[in-house]
Amino acid sequence: MMKRSHLSSIFSGLLLCFLLMLGSACSSQPASGSGGNATPTAPSGTAGSSNNGGTPAGSTPSQTVQMPPTQTACPATGTARAAVMRPLVLGHDQDLVYIYNEVPQNTSTAVGHLRRYDATTGQKTDIVSSGIRIDQAQVSADGQWVLFLSIPDPRGDNQHSAMLQLVRMDGQGLQTLYCFPNATYSGQNTSRLPISLQWSVDQQSILFSVNTNNDTSQVELLNVSTGALKTLFLDQNDQLYYYSVVTWLDNTHFYLIKQGSQAPTPPATVFLMNASTATVANPGLVQLFTIPTRQSYFSLDSSPDGSKLYSSSCLLAASPFNTTIMVGPAMGGTRTTLFQGSPLDCVQVLRVISPNKLLALAQVSTNAGNAFSNDVWTLNTTPGSNYNVVSLLSVSPSDQTRYDFNETTQFTWSNVSRDGGTYALQAVNPATNVQSIMIGSLSGGNASAIATTSPGSSTVSIAGWTTL
């Protein structure tokens, strides 16, 4: 998708690859997803096999259950493993989970960490360490689990490019559900693994898309309770385009985007798919809309009830800027303009954070047009509200730090605390590559850094919020 994170891969692991002399096995954080049924509370679910012996998604466990032994070795090639999940009683403090990929200077070692920051006490806790880097971590809807990609050190495992792993929020039960073969990955950005993950709200299904050899796009569905894999989509011998999953709309439908692999970038297309009926022979793609070529930033997200689909686009090359936020039926239909930005505004990323509120990351140009500030806005979508743009944070044009929300997943708890009071940002100083995780109040005011890397190759990125 043509978003901030896709134009400037600020959390790339490219330098890490040179430090470790890993060659073609090098990879970094993949492109982010947008959208999803943005409800900050745990969803309803069904008991039984949906979580393999755990508490049904949406219910509150009465007690924490010790995790049984789990397997971290890769399953057999082409197969996946059922998740082993037991309930964890959560607390009341708002906790932000984030990735800290540690690359000490002047060494050939690296390690990926999942960490938890308690916004009440300020305490930091390591959940787990895995691989030489962790990518695409996302917190489950019930707040009890973290799903992520672990990148193995090819000096010890040259057969796999990434391991799909799951761990409980207290660090118990680290397990490997699937391993991606060490195929030749190239195309849209050789410093990233072209894998996109999305975990459904009911926690029963994991979608992942892969682009291999710059000509084959594949979408797989993993049944969390059984480990069964099903191929939903396959596009071969296409070097001009690749397909990647964007987000779940609900527990059945999801968005898929088709975009260009090479410059000049051709128009991109957003589709809706039904995971319960899609097959390779009949994927059932429903085309929703096309994104014009040269669009600099594009983002989409669905309303909490799954009825509306919001999208924002900004043509950065235009002078003045041209930002438009549109809304339409989530499953397709007529789209109308909700908000038209001023000539100085460029909305880069859009998130839905409540039934009537959007969260946006924007660049606001100076009148001279030679510099811009980074702003965090909220927009009220209630009819008749005039959309009431409120600036929560504005960073001076003299500060060249670049910002982003969660690049991987856009459920409300991926970016906003479970009590709805705090949002998270990730930032990078392009001159020093010092990276930070920041949190700010949705009531406004300055955002504070809660994690910062040393200058060099270490990286940080947001996974999501829970309570402990």
| pLDDT value of residue 387 | 64
Q: How far is CA 53 from CA 46, 66, 221, in A?
A: 12, 12, 21
- Of 74-88, 264-278, 430-444, the range with the highest mean pLDDT is 74-88
Q: How many residues does the chain have?
A: 468
pLDDT higher for 11 or 415?
415
Summarize the confidence of residues 400-411 as an average pLDDT. 93
On whether the CB atoms of residues 139 and 160 are closer than 8 A, the answer is no
On whether the CB atoms of residues 79 and 221 are closer than 8 A, the answer is no
Helices (H), 99-187: none
pLDDT higher for 223 or 185?
223
Summarize the confidence of residues 172-187 as an average pLDDT. 84
Rounded distance between C-alpha atoms, residue 346 and residue 357, angstroms: 18
On whether the CB atoms of residues 254 and 245 are closer than 8 A, the answer is yes
**Closest C-alpha among 199, 11, 171, 169 to residue 95:** 169
pTM of the model: 0.87
CB atoms within 10 A of CB 450: 19
Summarize the confidence of residues 100-119 as an average pLDDT. 92
**Closest C-alpha among 157, 154, 102, 159 to residue 133:** 102
pLDDT(143) > 70: yes
pLDDT(130) > 70: yes
Summarize the confidence of residues 128-147 as an average pLDDT. 97
| pLDDT value of residue 318 | 63
pLDDT(264) > 60: yes
| pLDDT value of residue 22 | 37
Beta bridge partners of 337: 326
Structural domains of the chain, with CATH: 4-44+95-467 (2.130.10.120)
| pLDDT value of residue 424 | 98
On whether the CB atoms of residues 209 and 219 are closer than 8 A, the answer is yes
Residue 124 identity (one-letter amino acid): K
Q: Max CA-CA distance within the chain?
A: 62
| 219 phi, psi to nearest 5 deg | -120, 125
Rounded distance between C-alpha atoms, residue 289 and residue 356, angstroms: 23
**Per-residue confidence band for 47, with pLDDT thresholds at 50, 70 and 90:** very low
| pLDDT value of residue 228 | 98
| pLDDT value of residue 384 | 66
**Per-residue confidence band for 292, with pLDDT thresholds at 50, 70 and 90:** confident
On whether the CB atoms of residues 462 and 406 are closer than 8 A, the answer is yes
pLDDT(66) > 50: yes
Lowest mean pLDDT among 57-71, 144-158, 168-182: 57-71
Rounded distance between C-alpha atoms, residue 439 and residue 425, angstroms: 6
Summarize the confidence of residues 193-204 as an average pLDDT. 95
How is 362-427 classified by DSSP, letter by letter?
EEEE-TTSS-EEEEEEEEE-STTSTT--EEEEEE-TT---EEES-SS--SHHHHB-TTSSEEEEEE
| pLDDT value of residue 40 | 35
Rounded distance between C-alpha atoms, residue 176 and residue 199, angstroms: 15
Average of per-residue pLDDT values in the chain: 85
| pLDDT value of residue 444 | 93
Whose structure tokens read 């969260």?
359
| pLDDT value of residue 17 | 40
pLDDT digits (tens, 9 = 90+) for 307-339: 999 999 987 666 667 788 999 999 999 999 998
Whose structure tokens read 């069904």?
46
3-state helix, strand, coil in the chain (%, to 5): 5, 45, 50
pLDDT higher for 261 or 423?
423
pLDDT(54) > 80: no
| pLDDT value of residue 188 | 40
On whether the CB atoms of residues 363 and 371 are closer than 8 A, the answer is no
Token pair recorded at residue 221 = 């569905």
| pLDDT value of residue 1 | 39
Which H/E stretch holds residue 19? helix 14-20
Please list, in sequence order, all residues whose beta carbon lies within 8 angstroms of the beta carbon of residue 86, skipping any fewer than 6 positions away.
Answer: 53, 54, 64, 65, 66, 67, 68, 168, 173
Token pair recorded at residue 370 = 């030679």
Which H/E stretch holds residue 7? helix 4-7
**Per-residue confidence band for 60, with pLDDT thresholds at 50, 70 and 90:** confident
Tell me whether residue 126 is exposed, middle or buried, using C-beta atoms within 10 angstroms of its C-beta: 0 to 12, 13 to 18, 19 or more: exposed
